[in-house]
A and B are shown apart, each in its own frame.
Chain A
Amino acid sequence: MTLRLENVSKIVGSETHIHPTDIELEKGTMNVLLGPTLSGKTSLMRLMAGLDQPSSGRVHWDGRDVTGMRVQDRKVAMVYQQFINYPSMSVYENIASPLRLLGVDKSEIDRRVKETAALMKLTPMLDRKPLELSGGQQQRCALARALVKNAGLVLLDEPLANLDYKLREELREEIPRIFEESGAIFVYATTEPEEALLLGGKTATLWEGRVTQFGPTTSVYRRPVDATTARVFSDPPMNFLDIVKSGSTISFGDGQSAPAAGALSGLADGSYRAGFRPNHLDLEPHAGDTLEFNARLSVTEITGSETFIHLDHHGERWVGLVHGVRDLKRGAPIQVYLDPAHAYVFGEDGALVAAASSATGV
C-alpha cells in the first residue's frame, strides 16, 4: 500500500496553493506535514484524500491511478481540528457509523467498535453523547471513528490544536502507539516542530505551498536541506548570522573574526549565512573552539529550569535557551558563545552548504 503524488499541483484562480510536488508515502508510516498556517498543509491533505482534484499531476494508490476518483470510493478517513461528531448519537453509534455505511454485519460492528473504543480509552463512555464529554474525549471519539473503518489512509489535520496543553501531551504520546497497531498510512499536519519530533516517523516541511524537504523526522531536523526548512523546523526560530570566509578565518558582525572551525573549516572562500538553534547558544565559553558574539539582551523568559534569552545581535533578533534560572540585566551588553560544531552553513541562495558537524549519524 503506497500513496504516490506525481507532479501534483493546485492552482486556484491566480493563486498557487501547491507547487508541483512529488511525494511517496508508504504503508505503516507516520508522515508529518510541518509548516506555518497557510503553508499548504491542508491543501496537500485534501489532494491526498481526493477532496480536491489536482490542477496537474496524478495521484496513485498502490500503483493504481486514482486521480479524479471520488472520496467516497477511496479508503480514506480524516480528523479535523474541530471535534466533529454526530451530536445526537451516542459515542457507540458515532464509532459504528462508518461501518454501518459500509454495510458490515452487526456482530462484526459490535466487535470492532468495542475494540477501537478500548484502544482509545472510550469504553466507559460508549453510551454517552459526544457533547457530554470533555474536549479530549470528543477528539478521541472522532479519532476512533477514523480508525474503525480500517482506512488505508488516515489524515489528521492539526487534531490536537484545540486541546489543552496537557491533554495534547497525553494524546500525542498515544497517537504513534495507535498508528503502529493499525498499519495504515498516517498523515498528520501540525504547525509545531516539537509535535513533529514527538510523533517521529517522516516529516515533510512546507513553506508557501512547496514541500521543501521530506525524510525521516530527525534527519530533516538535523540535516535541513536549506535555510527555509531549518527555519520551519525550529521552535524557537533558528538564529542566523552572515559570515564571510577568507582563508582560515571567518568574519562577521562589526569586523569580528574567528578561526574557521567545525562545519566552517571546509568552506571555499566567500559569503555565507550560518544558522544555529537557540539551545546551542551559551553564556559560558566552551573548551576548544568557540565563537564569541557581542550582543545586547532585550528580554529574558524563565521556564523554571531554563531561561530563554532574547538578543539583539547587530540588528538580528536571536533567541538563546540556556540551562538554569539566570538573572540578567535587560538592555545590557552580553557575551554569548557558540560551539561551531553546531553551526549550519547555508549559501546565499539558502541551500545547505555544510551541516553542523555535530549532526552525525543521521
Chain B
Amino acid sequence: MAKITLSGLAHSYLPAPKSDEDFALKELNHVWDDGQAYALLGSSGCGKSTLLNIISGLLIPSQGRVLFNDRDVTEAPTAERNIAQVFQFPVVYDTMTVRQNLAFPLQNRGANAKYVAERVNQIAQMIGMEAELDRKARGLTADAKQKISLGRGMVREDVNALLFDEPLTVIDPHMKWQLRTQLKELHHEFGHTMIYVTHDQTEALTFADKVVVMSEGRVVQIGTPQDLFERPEHTFVGYFIGSPGMNLIPADVRGSRAIVAGSEVALGRSYGEPDGKVELGVRPEFVRFAPEGEGLSARIKRVEDVGRHKIVRLEFGEHDINAVMSEEEDLPSGSAFIRFDPVGINIYSNDWRVQPQGGQVQ
C-alpha cells in the first residue's frame, strides 16, 4: 500500500504541445493518501483515463513526476509498480479455469502453493464464485467474467494501489449494487488505496471517500461527496453532480442580497460585490414552494414522477429551473411561488465559486 504523489504532472499526446489546449491533462499537483478510496469523475474525453494510465504506468507523462511513497516511478514499467487494475470490459484468460485465473498473479510472483490455494478460496468466496472455481472462464456471462477480473485485482494483498477503469459498465443495474457494496466492503477490510474512474456520478459518489471531478483535462474540484453536493467550487461540478444538476441563474449580487430575474433573494451571507459573470447557483433539492404571494413567482411547466421523488420543471422569468420534491409533497398547479433555501445557495463569478465573507454558514 502506498501514498501516491503527483507533482507538476501534465500530459499531451502531441510531440510539441504549445498552448494549454494541446494538453489532455493539464498541470496537476495532488497527493493520494494511503488507504483512501478515490473516484475520478468526468465525461468522456476529460482526461480521467489519461491520468489513470499515467498512474498505472501505461503512459509516461510529458512532464512532472509520479511518486509511490517516496520512490519516483514516473518511468517505471507497469510490472514494477505493483498495482492492480480492473478494466471496463472483462479481461479473463479464456482457456484457464476460474481458479487458475485468480491464482495467476500470485503464481507469476512465485507465491507458495499453499498460500495461493488459501487466498484463491478466500477471494472466490468474496466474489461469490466458489461453485464455479473449476469451470473454464470461457463461456461464463459478462457479469461473472467481470467478477473474475475484480477478484484477480484483489488477490494480491501487497499492491500499492487498486485501479478501476469504469468496471461496472457491462453489469446489470441490480448486480451493480451488489458488486459496488462488495468493493466497498473489501476496501474496509484490506485498506488498499483505490482509484475508481467513472462517468457515473452515483458510482463515484457512493464508492469514494473523496471524488476528483475533471473537466477538459483539468481537475476542477477534489472533495467529499458532501462538499461536491453542497459547495461545488465550479459551475461544472454543480452541473455534473446531481440529477438534475444545479440551477444557475444570472444574478446581480450586492452583499447579502441578490437580484435575480427582477426579484430580490436573501443569500444568508455576504459576498461583497463580485464582478465578471455573476450567477446564483441553487440545487433543485434546495428549491422550495412558498406560501401564496411570498417569494419568487414561477410557473410549473411539467412534473415528472420518478418514484421516490418528483422533478418539477419550472419557468422562472426567462429561465428554466428544476426543483426536486418528495414523493408525498402536494404540488400547486400552474403558477407557484418558490424560494431558495439560503443554506443551498452558492454564488459564482466567472464559473468559480465566490467565498462568502465572514466564514461558512451552517
Chains A and B touch each other in the complex, with CB atoms below 8 Å apart: yes
B319 on the A face (CB < 8 A) = no
- Residue from the list A277, A298, A303 in contact with B202, Cβ < 8 A: A303
State the CA gap A273–B285 with chains docked (Å).
34
**Complex contact A304–B172 (CB within 8 A):** no
Residues of chain B within 8 A (CB-CB) of A218 are: 305, 307
A299 on the B face (CB < 8 A) = yes
- Residue from the list A169, A279, A330 in contact with B243, Cβ < 8 A: A169
State the CA gap A301–B183 with chains docked (Å).
11
**Complex contact B206–A325 (CB within 8 A):** no
**Complex contact B308–A277 (CB within 8 A):** yes
B185 on the A face (CB < 8 A) = yes
State the CA gap A255–B64 with chains docked (Å).
63
Mark out the residues of chain A between 278 and 308 whose CB falls within 8 Å of any chain B CB in the assembled complex.
279, 298-299, 301-305, 308
Mark out the residues of chain A between 152 and 203 whose CB falls within 8 Å of any chain B CB in the assembled complex.
164-167, 169, 191-194, 197-198, 200
Q: How far is the CB of B107 from chain A (nearest CB, A)?
A: 31
Residues of chain B within 8 A (CB-CB) of A165 are: 43, 199-202
Residues of chain A within 8 A (CB-CB) of B335 are: none
- Residue from the list B43, B177, B184, B283 in contact with A164, Cβ < 8 A: B43
**Complex contact B206–A303 (CB within 8 A):** yes
State the CA gap A358–B327 with chains docked (Å).
10
Residues of chain A within 8 A (CB-CB) of B230 are: 304-305
**Complex contact A303–B306 (CB within 8 A):** no
B228 on the A face (CB < 8 A) = yes
Residues of chain B within 8 A (CB-CB) of A298 are: 181, 185
For residue B283, which residue of chain A has the nearest CB? A305
B348 on the A face (CB < 8 A) = no
Q: How far is the CB of B226 from chain A (nearest CB, A)?
A: 5
Interface string of A327-338 (1 = CB under 8 A from B): 000100000000
Mark out the residues of chain A between 38 and 96 whose CB falls within 8 Å of any chain B CB in the assembled complex.
none
**Complex contact A191–B173 (CB within 8 A):** yes
For residue A325, which residue of chain B has the nearest CB? B226
B241 on the A face (CB < 8 A) = yes
Interface bracket on B: 35 or more
Residues of chain B within 8 A (CB-CB) of A354 are: none
**Complex contact A235–B174 (CB within 8 A):** yes
B304 on the A face (CB < 8 A) = yes
Q: How far is the CB of B208 from chain A (nearest CB, A)?
A: 9
Residues of chain B within 8 A (CB-CB) of A277 are: 307-308
When A36-B174, A37-B172, A166-B240 are in contact, do A308 and B307 touch as well, CB less than 8 Å?
Answer: no
State the CA gap A236–B174 with chains docked (Å).
7
Residues of chain A within 8 A (CB-CB) of B243 are: 169
When A194-B306, A237-B174 are in contact, do A303 and B43 touch as well, CB less than 8 Å?
Answer: no
Q: How far is the CB of A73 from chain B (nearest CB, A)?
A: 35
**Complex contact B173–A235 (CB within 8 A):** yes
Q: How far is the CB of A79 from chain B (nearest CB, A)?
A: 20
**Complex contact A237–B177 (CB within 8 A):** yes
State the CA gap A299–B240 with chains docked (Å).
25
Residues of chain B within 8 A (CB-CB) of A169 are: 243-244
A135 on the B face (CB < 8 A) = yes
Q: How far is the CB of A53 from chain B (nearest CB, A)?
A: 28
Residue of B202, B206, B224 with highest tally of chain A CB at under 10 A: B206
**Complex contact A302–B225 (CB within 8 A):** yes
A272 on the B face (CB < 8 A) = no
A310 on the B face (CB < 8 A) = yes
A319 on the B face (CB < 8 A) = yes
A221 on the B face (CB < 8 A) = yes
Residues of chain B within 8 A (CB-CB) of A193 are: 173, 307
Mark out the residues of chain B between 31 and 52 whose CB falls within 8 Å of any chain A CB in the assembled complex.
43-44
**Complex contact A221–B226 (CB within 8 A):** no
Residues of chain B within 8 A (CB-CB) of A321 are: 308
B242 on the A face (CB < 8 A) = yes
B87 on the A face (CB < 8 A) = no
State the CA gap A36–B308 with chains docked (Å).
20
**Complex contact B228–A304 (CB within 8 A):** yes
State the CA gap A325–B223 with chains docked (Å).
14
**Complex contact A299–B177 (CB within 8 A):** no
**Complex contact A303–B177 (CB within 8 A):** no
State the CA gap A231–B30 with chains docked (Å).
43
- Residue from the list B44, B181, B226, B304 in contact with A135, Cβ < 8 A: B44
B205 on the A face (CB < 8 A) = yes
State the CA gap A254–B230 with chains docked (Å).
41
For residue A235, which residue of chain B has the nearest CB? B173
**Complex contact B43–A166 (CB within 8 A):** yes
When A165-B199, A303-B206, A305-B285 are in contact, do A198 and B225 touch as well, CB less than 8 Å?
Answer: no
State the CA gap A36–B306 with chains docked (Å).
19
Residues of chain B within 8 A (CB-CB) of A221 are: 307
State the CA gap A4–B78 with chains docked (Å).
58
**Complex contact A279–B174 (CB within 8 A):** no
Interface string of B205-217 (1 = CB under 8 A from A): 1110000000000
When A164-B199, A165-B201 are in contact, do A198 and B244 touch as well, CB less than 8 Å?
Answer: no
Mark out the residues of chain A between 194 and 244 whose CB falls within 8 Å of any chain B CB in the assembled complex.
194, 197-198, 200, 218, 221, 235-237
State the CA gap A135–B44 with chains docked (Å).
9
State the CA gap A157–B185 with chains docked (Å).
34
**Complex contact A330–B173 (CB within 8 A):** no
- Residue from the list B181, B205, B239, B245 in contact with A310, Cβ < 8 A: B181
Q: How far is the CB of B336 from chain A (nearest CB, A)?
A: 20
Residues of chain B within 8 A (CB-CB) of A301 are: 180-181, 184, 205-207
When A36-B174, A165-B201 are in contact, do A197 and B180 touch as well, CB less than 8 Å?
Answer: no
State the CA gap A335–B242 with chains docked (Å).
29
Residues of chain A within 8 A (CB-CB) of B254 are: none
Interface string of B302-330 (1 = CB under 8 A from A): 00111110000000000000000001100
Residues of chain A within 8 A (CB-CB) of B225 are: 302-304, 325
Query: Assuming A36-B174, A218-B307, A298-B185, what are 13 further A-B pairs, CB within 8 angstroms?
Result: A165-B199, A166-B239, A193-B307, A197-B306, A197-B307, A218-B305, A298-B181, A304-B205, A304-B226, A304-B242, A305-B285, A310-B181, A319-B177
The 5 A-B pairs with the shortest beta carbon distances in the complex, nearest first, are A304-B229, A301-B206, A304-B225, A279-B308, A197-B306
Sampled A-B contacts (18; CB under 8 Å): A36-B172, A37-B172, A165-B201, A166-B43, A166-B199, A166-B239, A166-B240, A167-B43, A299-B181, A303-B202, A303-B205, A304-B205, A304-B225, A305-B230, A305-B242, A305-B285, A308-B206, A319-B177
Chain B interfacial positions (CB closer than 8 Å to A): 43-44, 172-174, 177, 180-181, 184-185, 188, 199-202, 205-207, 224-226, 228-230, 239-245, 283, 285, 304-308, 327-328
